[in-house]
Amino acid sequence: MADDAEYKKLVDDVGRTILVIQELCRQHGIFDGLRKLLECSNCGLMEDVAFSGRLITYRAGAEDVDTGLRFPEPDHDGYSRCPGCGVVVQLEKEEDNWKEGK
């Protein structure tokens, strides 16, 4: 087994590589799955992930038509602005479904 210094370097290298891959995915429009998808309650524009892994947007009733609009990446508080109507939208909060004893 590697000593602690070798192990720490290996883990650090893997972590840096993952960050690079995530950034490349974002640059190429590939959804990394690290956040929920955005949806505008005002105009109905919503994100989805195509079979190719690319992020797309559509409106209800036209699911097969990518509008070409893209929500900006949410800030640290989960806020973004709808590219369709300009309304501020927030990512859905994760619910903690863990219950003691389950």
Per-residue pLDDT tens digits for 32-85: 888 899 999 999 999 999 988 899 999 988 888 999 999 998 999 999 999 999
What residues pair up with 57 in beta bridges, in sequence order?
47
Task: Answer yes or no: do 41 and 14 share one domain.
Answer: no
Residue with tokens 């959804």: 31
Q: Which domain holds residue 18?
A: 1-30
Residue 95 has pLDDT above 70, yes or no: no
Task: Tell me if 9 sits within 8 A of 3, measured CB to CB.
Answer: no
pTM reported for the whole predicted model: 0.69
Q: Give the type of residue at 94.
A: E
**Domain membership flag for residue 100:** no
As for how many domains the chain has, the answer is: 2
Alpha carbon distance 53, 47 (integer Å): 12
Alpha carbon distance 40, 85 (integer Å): 9
Task: Answer yes or no: do 71 and 38 share one domain.
Answer: yes
- pLDDT tens digits for range 23-44: 898 888 888 888 899 999 999 9
